[in-house]
Amino acid sequence: MSHPSAGQPVSGARRTAQARRERIIAAARTLFAQHGFDGTGMAQIAKESQILVGQIYRDFAGKEDLIAAIVERDIADLLDDPKLAGAMASGQADHLLQWMRAFIGESLDDDSRKVLSDILSEGTRNPRIATILRQACERLRERIASAALIWIPGPEQQAEREGLADLILTACGALHHRQIFGLGTNEVITRKLVQMVEAEIERLSKAS
């Protein structure tokens, strides 16, 4: 009869712990969208996730840690975006342009809009959350700048690639802020922002 190796129980325990953390994070996201960060208590998160409050506190020191986890998961989703990864793997400029247009013009669902609004608001008064948001933006900027090698392959043009990544993030952020404030999406504004980015890509590509 075979027996599990010494590492198997640890691996199983880690998977269980990760699944539990994901349930807590998902419950917190749902409740933050419904009631806001300040209007949500740990008891509500325990009820929504069906995990005891004591166990939640063993995984997360408090709601601030939960916000950090939500930001981390969201940024991981953006960094691992299969469309961006596929465009980078293809090396095709047109594929990356398609990703850029979709990224800038993304329409937020109602829960995402509310959670993003709450997190940004918390970042204005909480230095730790502000730092987490800055670090998340920097990681995404680096990822986009790396992808921009397809458009701007010049070895001495890293600053231009980083500037372009900033421009793409700024365009996306501006449209997200419109949605946060209830202005919704606007095809004309989105198209103009995309055209502005495309024009900058073309200019930098010709100079490389």
Residue 114 has pLDDT above 70, yes or no: yes
**What pLDDT digit, counting tens, does each position of 117-176 carry?**
999 998 999 999 999 999 999 999 999 999 999 999 988 999 999 999 999 999 999 999
Q: Residues 6 or more apart from 170 whose CB is under 8 A from it?
A: none
pTM score, two decimals? Answer: 0.85
Domains, the chain, with CATH or none: 1-60 (1.10.10.60), 63-207 (1.10.357.10)
Predicted local confidence at residue 103, as pLDDT: 96
Predicted local confidence at residue 10, as pLDDT: 53
Predicted local confidence at residue 206, as pLDDT: 87
**What pLDDT digit, counting tens, does each position of 13-58 carry?**
788 888 999 999 999 999 999 999 999 999 999 999 999 999 999 9
In this structure, what DSSP letter does residue 6 have?
T
Residue 201: is it exposed, middle or buried by C-beta count within 10 angstroms (0-12/13-18/19+)? buried
Count other Cβ atoms within 10 Å, centred on residue 173: 13
Tokens of 141: 């900027």
pLDDT tier, 2 (very low <50, low <70, confident <90, very high otherwise): very low
Predicted local confidence at residue 14, as pLDDT: 81
Compute the distance between CA of residue 37 and CA of residue 121 in angstroms, rounded to an integer: 10
CA count, 13 A, side-chain hemisphere, 207: 11
